[in-house]
Amino acid sequence: MLRSSTKSAGLALGRDYVGFAHLVAGKAGLRPESLAESKLATRLFYDAPTPGASAALDEALAQIPAKLKRRYLPVHVSLPDAAVQAATFELEQLPKTHAAQIDLVRLRFARLGVSAAHVYACQPLEREGDKQLLFGMAAEASWQKLVDQALARARIVPWSVSANACRQFNRFNDRLTQTSGALVVLAPDTWSLWLWDARGRPRYARSRWRLANESHSDIALEVERLIVAYVQGDPARSVARVHVLAGGEAGAMAAALDARLREPCVALSAEGETAEAARGSASAESCLAAALER
């Protein structure tokens, strides 16, 4: 439904930046009308929320043109991947109501060491044999509250809130899910790995905050370790192809992955007018993926 809209917007939050993309209808589909990025005076998603973090986010959101607020405009908000936990749970039986599914996701995340102070979302996936699959996400409640309140003060009503890697998986879904695979996503402050099976169902996800001294080779080594552990965990699992989305770091990240993997990885990127508009903005891939959400 959202792809048929003539206008859409994406807002990408990072630890020290906010990216914004406004798309309008063009001859070849939605094209960027505007693309902007604001740096934050105080970091977000670091320890507990503070008044300074709230004020910094308010200041950044104030840069969004007033004419785009309080309009019938789909605004999709992306959180940094390292601020969101994602997992696919195999179940004997799927609860019938959404509320019961959320309760089960909360319980399963607790078993993984995720505290109860989170907000949860979930979506049933196509079943696997006699197993029901339930995809879940968890974001820390205190930071989610800070973001929600800042959006409300800025008069921005989000149509959806999700993680950047989830947006990217949706954005390139038709291309990615031709076979089983992996997607490595680099943002300025995080990196993430998503794995899916031959039927395009997400089966594993991990995200990390990027360290100041962490090289592309370091990330590639950890990606290799995670992929090997995933495949060896079940004889039925496979990763036929590895994709990378890393903006201006794509070449270096792809080279590091190629040095560790059996086959060359596939680089993903925006195309046409979108690609041209994305140059020079570290958050461009994230906010464009949000704006293109289905």
CA distance 218 to 257: 10
Q: State the DSSP H helix or E strand holding residue 231, giving kind and residue range, or none if neither.
A: helix 216-232
Q: What pLDDT is attached to residue 163?
A: 96
pLDDT tens, position by position, 212-255: 999 999 999 999 999 999 999 999 999 999 999 998 899 999 99
Q: What are phi and psi of 92, to 5 degrees?
A: -75, -35
Tokens of residue 212, six digits: 């100041």
Average of per-residue pLDDT values in the chain: 90
Per residue in 184-216, pLDDT tens? 999 999 999 999 999 999 999 999 999 999 999
CA gap 126, 155 in Å, rounded? 37
Residue 236, both tokens:
């039925």
Q: What is the pLDDT of residue 69?
A: 66
User: Helix or strand or coil: residue 20?
Assistant: strand
- How far apart are alpha carbons 222 and 60 in whole angstroms? 33
Pick from 52, 32, 82: nearest CA to 205: 82
**Mean pLDDT of the region 2-14:** 73
**Domains located in the chain, CATH noted:** 2-80+145-161 (3.30.420.40)
pLDDT of residue 72 exceeding 50, the answer is yes
- Cβ distance 288 to 278 under 8 Å? yes
Beta strands, E only, 116-222: 118-128, 131-140, 160-163, 181-186, 190-196, 202-209
> Do the beta carbons of residue 171 and residue 270 sit within 8 Å?
no
Tokens found for residue 6 = 């003539």
- Distances in Å between the alpha carbon of 114 and those of 81, 106, 214? 15, 9, 25
pTM: 0.91
Q: Tell me: pLDDT of 2 over 50.
A: no
Res 1: pLDDT: 28
pLDDT digits (tens, 9 = 90+) for 124-146: 999 999 999 999 999 999 999 99
Whether 21 and 27 have beta carbons less than 8 Å apart is answered as no
Which residues 6+ apart lie within 8 Å of 157 measured at CB?
70, 75, 151
The yes-or-no verdict on residue 272 having pLDDT over 80 is no
pLDDT of residue 73: 80
Find out whether 57 and 147 touch, Cβ atoms under 8 Å: yes
pLDDT above 50 (res 287): yes
What's the DSSP call for residue 211?
P
- Residue 216 Rama label (left phi>0; alpha psi -120 to 50; beta): alpha
